Structure 1
Amino acid sequence: MKTDFKFSNLLGSVYRKGNLIYTDDGTCLLSPVGNRVTVFDLINNKSHTLPFAHRTNVARIALHPRGQLLLTIDEGGQAILSHFQRRIVLYRFSLRDKENRSISALAFSPSGTHFAVAIGRKIEVWRTPSTPGSHESAENEDEDGGLEFAPFVRYRQYVSHYDSVQSIEWSSDSRFFLSASKDLTARIWSLDPEEGFTPTTLAGHRTAVYAAWFSNDQETIWTISKDGALFRWQYLPPPDVDLEMVTEDDERWRISERHYFFQDQANLTTAAFHAPSNLLVTGFSNGLFMLHELPSFSEIHKLSISASKIDTVSINKSGEWLAFGSSALGQLLVWEWQSESYILKQQGHFDSLNALTYSPSGDRVITCADDGKIKVWDTASGFCIVTFTEHTSGVTACEFARRGNVLFTASLDGSVRAFDLIRYRCFRTFTAPKRLSFSSIAVDPAGDVVAAGSLDDFDIHIWSVQTGQLLDQLSGHEGPVASLAFAPNGSSLVSGSWDRTVRIWSVFARTQTSEPLQLQADVLCVAVRPDSRQIAVSTLDGQLTFWSMSEGTQEGGTDGRRDVSGGRKVSDRRTAANVAGTKNFNTITYSADGSVVLAGGNSKYICLYAVETAVLLHKYTVSVNLSLEGTQEFLNSRLLTEAGPQALPDEVGENSDLEDRLDKSLPGSKRGDAAQRKTAPAVRVPGVAFSPTGRAFCAASTEGLLIYSVDSGVQFDPFDLDVDVTPESTLKTLAQRQWLKALVMAFRLNHPKLITRVYRAVPTSDIGLVVRDLPRVYLDRLLRHVAKEVDTSPHMELNFLWLESLLRQHGSVLKEKPGEFAEVVRMVQRAVGRIQGEVMRVADGNARTVDYFLGQPRVGGTGLQQKKLTDGHSTNDAEIGDEDEDEEMVGGADEWVGLE
């Protein structure tokens, strides 16, 4: 199978911290998620994560007005300028100053030539680097069209504030900008020296000024502070002065109106202003947001959307959609205020993930976490489609039944629950005779029996799914049961325990016997190969061993301590190679064909091993985010202070003594001390799972649900191209009626519109010949294209002719290599199933219509004659003759209606 997996998407987390921004057309929303940026397509209901990653969490993001350049800055001041459409990194630059102050505001000018960034109390304006390949950069580039040597050039620096700047807002003509600061003032700056203009300070607030904006005509300035005070500033003469005596020199920016938000025990945390519609949106620390129309300050809406504070709000260009982000619970909402409806409402797990599993169809991923929630994620769109909250404590394990849409979960609340994923409800709850915290689960392939193990008890509990009754308690282990797995053929149950044994139970035999396999250390995880012939076992000493299930002998093994050894924590005094506790695998899983094993643990690495040779094939780095514990390899002596490592003291805490702000959590504790104000989560991988198709795998990590897939979108192969393959030559070949050659040339160029044009131009009589001679290397791509055409285009008969010919002539290849073509076959099945459902609905509707017409009462001649009499017609002979003809016609119609 292919093993060149690459990062594809990040699910399980929709917002962490920072600001939200819309694209210029307002259809996409950009949200910072840890050290990455996720793009939510609000029209097509899809999401994707940009491939590049920062070294720390992203603090600020800004999009160029033309939509090409995306500037992201992390907490350490490192900036990445990327091409938004191509998703590639153009430049990396450091905006960090000597005092290492954080970035608090970032904004591009409306003209796009400059951007302003707030570093502490200082504001810096930089020239925007040119975009490679654009018309603007042609004059600055050399003949080869390369990148600029020094793209970031600082244009001007502004230092007048006495505290951190919280907001920067440009004027519409890009000549001026406003800054709001914690020093209770807002200031007006000019980009270039203006005649008669002097920098102006707007003072009058009693608390920190959060934001300042220009009105649409730039004649008014609005400022808002933390205590909910909104001031309107206008260029006015002094009060109580005779207007005839006022000169232009006496006019200044003065407060003309004052408005206040009265919120008990709540502070303003975020605000946004849409100048064209004069719409003001404010968010507060109690989860409430309000909409006001300015300058009348009339309240439009008032709604509570979160249990915690709202961190950021953004308005799209048209002013219709409002985006809210709450970092405490990881919530992201897009609200259309005119219709009062949600466009997007997503929330990730606000606690660490524990386990995950794929659905049998491969289009769903189920995650469970310590917050007691179970979420179902759609792999195609990247959105959470349902959340189950029946458990009252952390959910530790989840498993799918191979038949049917039934999900089983185990929790620390002492229950095992079964969920129906068609009706989205919990239909069965399994409990033990005594209070236990279940940590592992296994489901019979037939879906008749569910087994669960606990770290509090040494027995394995088995229930009947149909009745919910406890069938048996398997005794034999002398330590807590850490992992359970049923053989795919349903013959045996495999359990691993801390007593250094793995037992194979014959659950369905008349005598329930168990065969123990002795190991050298505590067992952490077991997995059974899909052919039910082999068991993979991970132990506490970092060993990964493979055992024969039928003979009970060891077939191979490898030492994974050096492979899985992750980074060091801030408080560790050793390097990553000498840190204990990270040198073992807590989770392992087989691929769909059983040729490779994927393993992860309490480190930043995921290891892929070949089963036959026990050789490490690939090592995937989960995260490079230095904001997490366990990502650094070596001790950085520059970060050491007299009080210890620089990250340990809480510099923003309320305690005055340094000793009171130090982290005094117990060694080995994962979650830290809940009483401390500053805790950093440690990077770890509690669960991994392969998709049923084998084309992707997902990993539950501290940052969320990471999806790695074989990149089917690699569209360029230089070995297939030559100078003769161009769009013009392809169209010329198509005009010459060389269908197969034109189709292959279009696939080599991989131009979607060109492929569709050639595909639809092939006559129906020649489809069979084209498919028969199609090179096998293009079979996957043609099937994928046909599946997309079936799903999107109205040419139903043409698409099904292609599909029938492909399956008829290449069906044996699809059957021989199910792992290679499983994904595209599932795409075809979904598309055909959707068309089938639509055709059946139309057929049912037509059948009911025909039944309705056939069930109508017969129309007699007396009725027609009575109708004519009531209409006032005379009954002469001609009319009577006509009536006879009508009666004959009606009688014929009656005879025709009666035929069934």
Structure 2
Amino acid sequence: MKSDFHFSNLLGTVYRQGNLVFSHDGKQLLSPVGNRVSVFDLINNKSFTFEYEHRKNISTFDLNRQGTLLLSVDDDGRAILVNFKSRNVLHHFNFKEKCTHLKFSPDGKWFAIASGRFLQIWKTPDVGQDRQFAPFVRHRIQAGHFQDLTSVSWSHDSRFLLTTSKDLTSRIWSVASEDKELASTTFAGHRDYVLGAFFSQDQEKIYTVSKDGALFVWEYTTDPDEEDVEDESDEEIDLSKYSWRITAKHYFFANQAKVKCVTFHPQTNMLVVGFTNGEFRLYELPSFVLLQQLSMGQHPVNTVSVNSTGEWLAFGSKTLGQLLVYEWQSESYILKQQGHFDTLNGLTYSPDGSRVVTASEDGKIKIWDVVSGFCLATFEEHTSAVSAVQFSKRGQVLFSASLDGTVRAWDLIRYRNFRTFTAAERIQFNSLAVDPSGEVVCAGSIDNYEIQVWSVQTGQLLDCLAGHEGPVSCLAFSQENNVLASASWDKTIRVWSIFGRSQQVEPIDVSADVLALSIRPDGRQVAVSTLKGQITMFDIESGLQVGNIDCRRDIISGRHLEDRFTSKNSERSKYFTTIHYSFDGLALVAAGNNNSICLYDIPNEVLLKRFVVSKNMTLNGTLEFLNSSRMTEAGSLDLIDRDGENSDLEDRVDDSLPGSNRGGDLSTRRLRPEIRVTSIQFSPTANAFAAASTEGLLIYSVDDTMLFDPFDLDMDVTPENVIEILKEKEYLNALVLAFRLNETYLINKVYEAIPISEIPLIGSSLPVVYASRFLKFIGDFSMESQHIEFNLLWIKSIISSHGNYMSSHKHEFSTSLRTVQRFIGRIAKDITTTYSDNKYGAMFLVSTDGSNGKDEVDVDDMELINENEENEKTTSDQEMEPESRDDSKDDDAEDDDDEEGWIGFDEKKKQNLQFEEPGESDDEDMI
């Protein structure tokens, strides 16, 4: 079992607060997610999150025009400079005051930051003559405003800056000293906060926008009364008669809504304005023509950004955690993502490891793609918090349990709820387990001490398993021997044989209340986490304890702001509430209501690695040491509510309901969220695990792409020898030597050079020690390869030759087989759709291929086509069929739903188009 896991990505959260930034090429969008930064690749449909963390949530950040340096600043003014290309942290700096806006100059030599009521201009760090990295060097501090600054913008030649402030004015500043006289103007006249000021493309006009919806156009002209005198003389222009004057005033008239954010794109003269009622508008300046007017909801639009071409607009809403990328010319969404509104309660991986499903306190279920990091679908049918989710074995059906008293089954092909299970009385379900065959689903409740058992086919309640004397805290089915294990607060574990004749169950006594349970994949051992901070392993057949791990010293509990002691002396949350076995059963990952995720080695009962969930100090439970300077007799100074001192009315007003937030003292109105991990699970591919935390869905993975891992290396094994052996057509030897070198490009070269006729022989002669690695290579390679039939022939040959060994050594082939399964699952739908769309067109081409011009059809072809159509009508999923398929609207989707329909390849190809029966190859069944 590998233990070198590291943070890979953050899902479930797309935007928290701050501004949005497009890269200069417009292909990537950067969004702050708490104290981290996520990057969304809008072209390749992928995303990643930087590994570095701030101590507080990010308030503002920017990326330079060259796309090399990323500078982010948190709420306390602490900045981190990052190399955007290599994702390495270069420098830490503290501005010692809250910063509201940060902007790099267009030429990349400077960056300006609005810190309080001062404008600070800094030199961008670069490599000097001595090839040493230079830290931050401040060029100038500009003071002139009487209130906090709200925004900063640069001119296109990087000579001047415009600042806006809450003192109802805007000012122009210069970087160079010789331009100081030109830049000494204050733009006054607004009646509310000025939120934005921008230069036009020719820098002849300046546009200022205030919070009350007023747009002023400023131009550098003379007094209109003196224009006639100026025209009479042809002498040099007297600059003393020129000044910035208002030439036009425009108003938005947004029906009591205030302007929340504004941006301007000089190349297209487009002004984008976001309002507090969720509406945003597009105007063309200077004519002030309304281009579009749309709404993204009822909550304020907190930030807006435009890419370099002016085609895409990015909007962020803090209240909803929503992120939109809108193409205004075609009026379509490029990206539309929204995280969970409340805390996560559970997660589960799909059987192929390509998707993660999360359940939340807000009653929603979201499906996330692991590769892209985007949300694929959202289910909102539950009327209360969703407590648990679980996949069926084949991954086509998802089950969820909720506190609304229902367990629902979801069809992930048509994305609908096709079955709802309820008990005889209205009870709240908090645990869920699904039989591997998909025939039975079980749920436990906190209201009674019974386990409800339903039939998935009929939806009827089959049985109520009684025996526990306390609430059932967790359930789990074994994947091998179909036994159900349940744990309860009555300090017992019970193992049930659901399909057995007798339901006599002997309880296994545990020393404390059981909080979490996990069954080893082979079904022979069960591990439980107790309230005393112990992880205990039991043998299922004998009921004896086979291991115990004391976890109390491994847990970082963290201290809260109201605590008067350090985290070392805290007894809070010294236990795990969620645990999960790895596929080989040699490791176990555990987490709970604390700031640590622990990875344990089961045979040796030792801690392999400990991960810190978050360093965000805005959350309770992340601090370790006591800062006595912040403590008084009345408590911590950080607990004092200073919102009444804010300058904005909407920031002063507390519109939250008493007791509306979960956790802590329900009599208080404001609560700090607490760091916790509610669910954790290993990926079926064994190279990652996911944790549902307060910050979002954290993905930790093993990155082996940059590692040199030679396998059975020898002096004679060189790339030159491999190429020579390949030229001599000794394909098996060349393939083995390439795997011994473990160079991807070399394996790829040998793999594609092998003729199709040699595949069965090489597949059967391949040493079994290379079979797992070869299958994993094919699965990864085939996701981007165009040779679908070639890859499938290889998969068929290896599985046919080594199938018996694979069945007896499943833990060795888990990762490779699931990689192949992911390839087949993604390609199958495309091929079956293409086949069904072009089936009759192919029949027509075959029928018109007669040499004498007659419409002739090969008898064998027609028989195969007719058999194929009959198979399409009669073939059904091995798993439960979601309700009936008699609906006319679903008839066209039968080909898409049949996973066995993708196999249409065989070596016996004729010159004309042939069709093959869908069930002829059994590769997928073997997988």
User: Residues 820-842 of structure 1: CA distance to partner in whole angstroms, max 9, x if unpaired?
Assistant: 55334433344456566666666
Partners of 2:848 and 2:788 lie apart in 1 by 35
Which secondary structure state, in structure 1, belongs to the residue aligned with residue 629 of structure 2?
Answer: helix
Structure 1 contact 790–832 (Cα < 8 Å) conserved: no
Structure 1 contact 715–750 (Cα < 8 Å) conserved: no
Q: Note closer, same or farther for the CA distance 1:314–1:816 as it changes in structure 2 (3 Å cut).
A: farther
Structure 2 contact 685–819 (Cα < 8 Å) conserved: no
Partner of 1:32: 32
The answer to whether the aligner puts 1:709 opposite 2:701 as a matched pair is yes
Partner of 2:365: 374
Shift of 1:348: 0.7
Which secondary structure state, in structure 2, belongs to the residue aligned with residue 194 of structure 1?
Answer: helix
Partner of 2:409: 418
Partners of 1:256 and 1:639 lie apart in 2 by 53
Q: What is the correspondence of 1:656-667 to structure 2 with a 5 Å cutoff?
A: none
Partners of 1:482 and 1:228 lie apart in 2 by 55
Structure 1 contact 725–749 (Cα < 8 Å) conserved: no
Question: What is the number of equivalent residue pairs in this alignment?
Answer: 846
Q: Note closer, same or farther for the CA distance 1:486–1:893 as it changes in structure 2 (3 Å cut).
A: closer
Which secondary structure state, in structure 1, belongs to the residue aligned with residue 301 of structure 2?
Answer: coil
Structure 1 contact 446–490 (Cα < 8 Å) conserved: no
The answer to whether the aligner puts 1:114 opposite 2:110 as a matched pair is yes
Partners of 1:488 and 1:808 lie apart in 2 by 24
Shift of 1:461: 2.1
Q: Note closer, same or farther for the CA distance 1:488–1:746 as it changes in structure 2 (3 Å cut).
A: closer
Which secondary structure state, in structure 1, belongs to the residue aligned with residue 840 of structure 2?
Answer: helix
- Report the more deviating stretch, 283-292 or 579-588: 579-588
Shift of 1:197: 2.0
Q: Note closer, same or farther for the CA distance 1:572–1:746 as it changes in structure 2 (3 Å cut).
A: same
Partner of 1:49: 49
Partners of 2:169 and 2:812 lie apart in 1 by 63
The answer to whether the aligner puts 1:217 opposite 2:202 as a matched pair is yes
Shift of 1:697: 0.8
Shift of 1:792: 3.0
Partners of 2:67 and 2:119 lie apart in 1 by 24
Shift of 1:690: 1.1
**Paired AA for residue 25 in structure 1:** D
Structure 2 contact 557–572 (Cα < 8 Å) conserved: no
Q: Note closer, same or farther for the CA distance 1:319–1:372 as it changes in structure 2 (3 Å cut).
A: same
Structure 1 contact 730–746 (Cα < 8 Å) conserved: no
Structure 1 contact 184–205 (Cα < 8 Å) conserved: yes
Q: What is the correspondence of 1:442-841 to structure 2 with a 5 Å cutoff?
A: 442-489=433-480, 491-640=482-631, 643-653=634-644, 671-672=663-664, 678-716=670-708, 786-794=778-786, 818-819=810-811, 821-831=813-823
Q: Note closer, same or farther for the CA distance 1:114–1:677 as it changes in structure 2 (3 Å cut).
A: farther
Which secondary structure state, in structure 1, belongs to the residue aligned with residue 783 of structure 2?
Answer: helix
The answer to whether the aligner puts 1:305 opposite 2:296 as a matched pair is yes
Pick aligned residue for 1:848 from 840, 848, 865: 840
Partners of 1:5 and 1:736 lie apart in 2 by 42
Q: Note closer, same or farther for the CA distance 1:854–1:655 as it changes in structure 2 (3 Å cut).
A: closer
Which secondary structure state, in structure 1, belongs to the residue aligned with residue 156 of structure 2?
Answer: coil
Structure 1 contact 179–186 (Cα < 8 Å) conserved: yes
Partner of 1:430: 421
Which secondary structure state, in structure 1, belongs to the residue aligned with residue 367 of structure 2?
Answer: strand
Partners of 2:394 and 2:632 lie apart in 1 by 59
Partner of 2:192: 207
- Report the more deviating stretch, 243-252 or 369-378: 243-252
Shift of 1:678: 4.4
Partners of 2:250 and 2:596 lie apart in 1 by 54
Partners of 2:669 and 2:81 lie apart in 1 by 33
The answer to whether the aligner puts 1:182 opposite 2:166 as a matched pair is yes
Partner of 1:229: 214
Q: CA RMSD in A?
A: 3.9
Structure 2 contact 713–740 (Cα < 8 Å) conserved: no
Structure 1 contact 653–677 (Cα < 8 Å) conserved: no
Partner of 1:861: none
Structure 1 contact 187–201 (Cα < 8 Å) conserved: yes
Partners of 1:729 and 1:491 lie apart in 2 by 51
Shift of 1:154: 1.1
Partner of 2:924: none
Which secondary structure state, in structure 2, belongs to the residue aligned with residue 541 of structure 1?
Answer: coil
Q: Note closer, same or farther for the CA distance 1:503–1:820 as it changes in structure 2 (3 Å cut).
A: closer
Q: Note closer, same or farther for the CA distance 1:851–1:70 as it changes in structure 2 (3 Å cut).
A: same
Structure 2 contact 734–750 (Cα < 8 Å) conserved: no
Structure 1 contact 650–677 (Cα < 8 Å) conserved: no
Partner of 2:129: 140
Partner of 1:153: 137
Structure 1 contact 527–536 (Cα < 8 Å) conserved: yes
Partners of 2:709 and 2:78 lie apart in 1 by 34
Q: Note closer, same or farther for the CA distance 1:199–1:556 as it changes in structure 2 (3 Å cut).
A: same
Shift of 1:152: 1.2
Partners of 1:898 and 1:482 lie apart in 2 by 64
Structure 1 contact 368–396 (Cα < 8 Å) conserved: yes
**Paired AA for residue 329 in structure 1:** L
Pick aligned residue for 1:162 from 146, 157, 169: 146
Shift of 1:721: 12
Partners of 1:473 and 1:787 lie apart in 2 by 43
Structure 1 contact 486–493 (Cα < 8 Å) conserved: yes
Partners of 1:413 and 1:546 lie apart in 2 by 33
Partners of 1:649 and 1:180 lie apart in 2 by 30
- Report the more deviating stretch, 803-812 or 330-339: 803-812
Which secondary structure state, in structure 1, belongs to the residue aligned with residue 240 of structure 2?
Answer: helix
Partners of 2:25 and 2:247 lie apart in 1 by 35
Shift of 1:296: 1.2
Q: Note closer, same or farther for the CA distance 1:682–1:447 as it changes in structure 2 (3 Å cut).
A: same
Partners of 1:554 and 1:895 lie apart in 2 by 76
- Report the more deviating stretch, 524-533 or 339-348: 524-533
Shift of 1:712: 2.4
User: Residues 749-774 of structure 1: CA distance to partner in whole angstroms, max 9, x if unpaired?
Assistant: 9686x876776678889999999999
Partner of 2:176: 192
Pick aligned residue for 1:352 from 330, 339, 343: 343
**Paired AA for residue 706 in structure 2:** V
Partners of 1:775 and 1:714 lie apart in 2 by 26
Shift of 1:94: 1.9
Q: Note closer, same or farther for the CA distance 1:181–1:723 as it changes in structure 2 (3 Å cut).
A: farther
The answer to whether the aligner puts 1:254 opposite 2:245 as a matched pair is yes
User: Residues 171-211 of structure 1: CA distance to partner in whole angstroms, max 9, x if unpaired?
Assistant: 11111111111111111110111254242111111111111
Partner of 2:78: 78
Q: Note closer, same or farther for the CA distance 1:644–1:363 as it changes in structure 2 (3 Å cut).
A: same
Structure 2 contact 280–293 (Cα < 8 Å) conserved: yes
**Paired AA for residue 294 in structure 1:** L
Shift of 1:337: 0.5
Which secondary structure state, in structure 2, belongs to the residue aligned with residue 73 of structure 1?
Answer: strand
**Paired AA for residue 158 in structure 1:** Q
User: Residues 805-851 of structure 1: CA distance to partner in whole angstroms, max 9, x if unpaired?
Assistant: 87788888877765455334433344456566666666666652354
Partners of 1:430 and 1:582 lie apart in 2 by 34
Pick aligned residue for 1:125 from 118, 121, 125: 121
Structure 2 contact 658–667 (Cα < 8 Å) conserved: no
Q: Note closer, same or farther for the CA distance 1:842–1:500 as it changes in structure 2 (3 Å cut).
A: closer
**Paired AA for residue 94 in structure 2:** S
Q: Note closer, same or farther for the CA distance 1:758–1:262 as it changes in structure 2 (3 Å cut).
A: farther
The answer to whether the aligner puts 1:342 opposite 2:333 as a matched pair is yes
User: Residues 854-878 of structure 1: CA distance to partner in whole angstroms, max 9, x if unpaired?
Assistant: 77899xxxxxxxxxxxxxxxxxxxx
User: Residues 88-115 of structure 1: CA distance to partner in whole angstroms, max 9, x if unpaired?
Assistant: 112222222xxxx311110111110111
Q: Note closer, same or farther for the CA distance 1:806–1:249 as it changes in structure 2 (3 Å cut).
A: farther
Q: TM-score, normalised by structure 2?
A: 0.83
